[in-house]
Structure 1
């Protein structure tokens, strides 16, 4: 059974100085909508939003996704807990919504390698081997993901279970390109 994709989209875009990075236009649509469509092509998708994000909700209108809301003030961990809540015996792919170069094909590849039993954790990497996103976790890690605290994401799980991680290089820097500031966006657009 294909696992669930959890697309994390609850952040506040605080480094964007008033703009919302997930509503920035990419391919003539908000980035969040584009990423949700790519995820849905690769498998069932749950999207984690923060409280009071009506514009992000509106950007997802008409896309077949489950939307859940992160509770708590510990950033990434709150999103991850919400994303895996209620899941049992199911692999989960954690993807970030601010990574516009990740394609549906990339998501398919990571899931396929996981489904073939390559490793319990499949982590996308840059072409140069730099660890990146997304990451697929076998069901045995759901309890760890559900107990995370703090704003560092799943880094502690990846570190504690480093022997279980298979790094899969994706073309170029797509597994490491996330856009957090207006300068990041300007640089990325200049080179796209």
Structure 2
């Protein structure tokens, strides 16, 4: 187990949103009365992390208002892994025992699940990822002895190889939904009876 007080939370919120169309950032889209990209930040707000880092690019969400140190990443489009490296560098500078990586386009993640990830971490080389029982994915936890490996990652695949080889904590598929397209957001709105599902957009 690694205590939340020894962990830096890194929220990756600098995605390209290319599959969502020309809208700026999908994270600003409304969902259940707040911006899509704010849900996970609010869900984890009572966890006593050492620090919270939000790596952002073009979304309009004020993560600083929710207790995050905001790091802007203007290189996110050219180098997707750069956001991960920025977050890991911040965790390294804070002498964290581990880093928890969460994605801002996963609005259904709960604090209970993230605590389960912390409970499953057993040492400084721990890699603990989430799973729906079929495929591992974020949120994920990495012990500090993995920081150098993470800082060396480049390209579009991020930490997938480390995550596949790590320990996996299973939760429901509904909790691990990520939103990449307008259709996926509309389907999620319908599933949870979000008021936005019944609001006609202006032409």
Under TM normalisation by the shorter chain, which class is it? Answer: 0.7 to 0.9
1:172 is matched with which residue?
173
Alignment equivalent of 1:12, drawn from 16, 26, 31: 16
1:184 is matched with which residue?
184
CA change 1:69–1:90 in 2 (3 A) is: farther
2:6 is matched with which residue?
2
Alignment equivalent of 2:80, drawn from 67, 72, 76: 76
Contact 1:22 1:30 in 2 (8 A): yes
Pair 1:146-2:146 in alignment: no
Deviation at 1:179, TM superposition (A): 0.5
Q: How does 1:1-192 map to 2 (within 5 A)?
A: 1-19=5-23, 20-42=25-47, 43=49, 44-50=51-57, 53=58, 55-56=60-61, 58=62, 60-72=63-75, 73-86=77-90, 87=92, 88-114=95-121, 117=123, 120-126=126-132, 128-159=133-164, 162=165, 165-175=166-176, 177-192=177-192
Matched length = 181
Deviates more, 1:37-46 or 1:79-88: 37-46
CA distance in 2, matches of 1:84, 1:71: 17
- When the two chains are superposed, the root-mean-square deviation of aligned CA atoms in Å is 2.2
Deviation at 1:80, TM superposition (A): 0.5
TM-score, structure 2 as length reference = 0.79
Q: Which runs of 5+ in 1 are unaligned?
A: none
TM-score, structure 1 as length reference = 0.84
Q: Which has the larger radius of gyration?
A: 2
CA distance in 2, matches of 1:75, 1:183: 26
